[in-house]
Amino acid sequence: MCNAPARRASGKAHFHRSGGFLNRGPLGQMTTPASLLDADVPRPVLDVIARLRELGHAAYLVGGCVRDTLRGFHPKDFDVATSALPEEVQRAFRKVIPTGIQHGTVTVLSGGTHVEVTTFRSESEYHDGRRPSAVTFEQDIVKDLSRRDFTINAMAWNPLGHELVDPFGGQDDLKARVVRCVGSAIERFSEDGLRPLRAVRFAAVLDFTLDSGTQAAIPATLPVFRKVAHERVREEFVKLLLSKREAFGLELLAVTGLLDVFLPELARAEAEAARLARAAASAAPADVEIRLAALLADLVDSQRAEEIGVRLKFPTKTIERVRLLITHAALERHVGEPDPALRRLLSKVGLAHIEALTAVARARIQVREPARLPEMEALIGRLHALAAAKPPLTSKDLALNGGAIMATLGVGPSPIVGDATRFLLEQVLEEPSLNAAEKLKELLRSWSRARGS
Ligand code: ATP
Ligand code: MG
């Protein structure tokens, strides 16, 4: 049935919410949306679909790429679903990588790109709210679409035959800008605890609302959400954090109870503090570390921020950067400080992080004390000017290296070398023009004499 041609003499055939066909006469014709007809599907993807169809299999574009094309956006990737079994897909192409063969996914190398091809499947018996205990391969695209999370993600498009399969009213929900579960929200959220978070994430990313039944099912299924692996939570959370309706998404996470499960520091914050945190994160550029720091800087200290990062299994690099940004986020306290103090700040933060730090500081002040924005901008301007002068900021920048320091002091490797290096760095941060070998040697000798006496 899924292969029935969409174009018929009397009009077009469409699946309806019930799962059946809806034949429209000439008066009530539903036309294939122009965005699909004009879709710029990459040639290698079309080739894969054509090959599978040539062999007698059903093959469609599915999921996010259909949704995004219908919305008029170019998808970031094109996923293919097919009735062909994984072995059949492997046999159909010369170069394949069995990426997730047990789940039915094979990566086909076509025209220099990777095309993910997944066999139609249904998932049954979720035992732990995390992963289906059994995957069954199917011949019917509608079965495959029924296991998908939201109606807007449960459409399939055959770009060769111009056939749109939309059994659950995905197009209507796209038009209404609504995220709605396929089938019973309680059941779908009980099968896979990640779905409620995905629902909120899609609402934030797409600037949609949650269907009321879908939203209402979230509190009841929170025990299932609690069991979801932190990595999966983090992945969705990051997408939400980087979305254009990030503050709205965070609010939705809070009212549905999801936030309390993985970020109680924000969920339990006092209402105004939480609002400011959300606003600061939204005001910051869409970068994970910057947004996380802007969100957390005024809620928790850097130690707690680190714990949050570890809990959500962020990469160590991210955790360290967020920690650093939070430590120095209250940049306004440096307003009016003399140049040497600002150079010390540059030295502590490191030039690589200054751009990010100023972004966090700017976002915070913008929502907390907008009247102080001009002085913050002036401070940021001074920091940039100081950095542009390329002053010595680390021991590596000193005109004397470790060997020269030892020779000057007449000592071998010992703790005194570290003390001497810190002393010299302190001197050049105060006065960069001192960073010349002879001057540093002289300073070192008097430092040593003073220490000796
Ligand atoms: P994005 O643009 O964010 O990647 P996407 O729709 O491609 O959006 P993915 O997470 O890449 O989202 O998933 C691809 C498709 O797989 C979805 O569109 C949906 O049909 C299905 N899907 C993904 N995760 C789930 C899930 N947890 N439960 C049911 N279906 C899912
Ligand atoms: Mg995707």
Residue type, 229: A
Which atom of ligand 1 is least distant from the CA of 191? 28
pLDDT higher than threshold 90 for residue 297: yes
Instruction: Name the residue at shortest CA distance from atom 7 of ligand 1.
Output: 64
Task: Kindly identify the ligand whose nearest atom is closest to the C-alpha of 73.
Answer: 1
Could you tell me the distance, in angstroms and rounded to a whole number, from the CA of residue 398 to the centre of ligand 1?
53
Could you tell me the distance, in angstroms and rounded to a whole number, from the CA of residue 114 to the centre of ligand 2?
14
pLDDT of 452: 81
Number of compact structural domains in the chain = 4
Tell me the C-alpha distance between 254 and 169, whole Å: 28
Say if residue 387 is in the same domain as residue 418: no
Cite the beta strand spans of 207-257 per DSSP E: 209-210
Q: 269 lies in a domain?
A: no
Find the mean pLDDT for residues 86-102. Answer: 94
Residue 192 Cβ < 6 Å to ligand 1: yes
pLDDT higher than threshold 90 for residue 354: yes
pLDDT higher than threshold 60 for residue 20: no
Q: pLDDT tens-digit profile of 196-235?
A: 999 999 999 999 999 999 999 999 999 999 999 999 999 9
Q: At what angle do helices 288-296 and 230-241 cross, to 10 degrees?
A: 90
Say if residue 12 is in the same domain as residue 157: yes
Say if residue 10 is in the same domain as residue 142: yes
Find the mean pLDDT for residues 326-350. Answer: 98
Count other Cβ atoms within 10 Å, centred on residue 225. 23
Measured CA to CA in angstroms, residue 273 lies from 234, 254, 265, 359 at distances of: 23, 13, 11, 20
Q: 271 lies in a domain?
A: no
Say if residue 321 is in the same domain as residue 426: no
Q: pLDDT tens-digit profile of 28-42?
A: 335 688 889 888 999
71-80, long-range: CB within 8 Å, 24+ apart, which pairs?
Answer: 71/35, 71/174, 71/206, 72/35, 74/40, 77/116, 78/41, 78/42, 78/45, 78/115, 79/116, 79/118, 80/45, 80/48, 80/49, 80/52, 80/115, 80/116, 80/117, 80/118
- Ion ligand 2, residues whose Cβ is below 5 A away: 64
Cα 393 to chain centroid, rounded: 33
Ligand 1, pocket-test mutation among 103, 153, 188, 241, most atoms within 8 A of CB: 153
Please state which of the ranges 4-13, 205-214, 408-417 shows the lowest mean pLDDT. 4-13
Say if residue 161 is in the same domain as residue 34: yes
Tell me the C-alpha distance between 99 and 108, whole Å: 10
Say if residue 54 is in the same domain as residue 201: no
pLDDT of 127: 62
User: CB of 147 within 8 A of CB of 137?
Assistant: no
Instruction: Name the residue at shortest CA distance from atom 22 of ligand 1.
Output: 148
Domain that holds residue 143: 2-176
Say if residue 129 is in the same domain as residue 20: yes
Instruction: Name the residue at shortest CA distance from atom 26 of ligand 1.
Output: 149
Say if residue 90 is in the same domain as residue 221: no
Query: Which CATH number do you get for residue 258?
Result: 1.10.110.30
Tell me the C-alpha distance between 259 and 237, whole Å: 10
Q: 39 lies in a domain?
A: yes
pLDDT of 287: 98
Q: 96 lies in a domain?
A: yes
pLDDT higher than threshold 50 for residue 5: no
Q: pLDDT tens-digit profile of 69-83?
A: 999 999 999 999 999
Say if residue 67 is in the same domain as residue 128: yes
**Mean pLDDT for all residues in the chain:** 92
User: Residues in the chain, how many?
Assistant: 453
Sign of CA dihedral 181, 187, 192, 196: positive
Q: 270 lies in a domain?
A: no
- Domain's final residue, options 359, 375, 391: 391
Q: 273 lies in a domain?
A: no
Could you tell me the distance, in angstroms and rounded to a whole number, from the CA of residue 63 to the centre of ligand 2?
8
pLDDT higher than threshold 90 for residue 115: yes
Tell me the C-alpha distance between 345 and 328, whole Å: 9
Say if residue 284 is in the same domain as residue 356: yes
Burial 364-402 (b: 16+ CB within 10 A, else e): bbbbeeeeeeeebeebbeebeebbeeebbbebeebbbee
Tell me the C-alpha distance between 218 and 213, whole Å: 9
Instruction: Name the more confident of 159 and 135.
Output: 159
Give the CA angle between residues 6, 11, 12 to the nearest 5°. 25
Residue 195 Cβ < 6 Å to ligand 1: yes
Say if residue 169 is in the same domain as residue 235: no
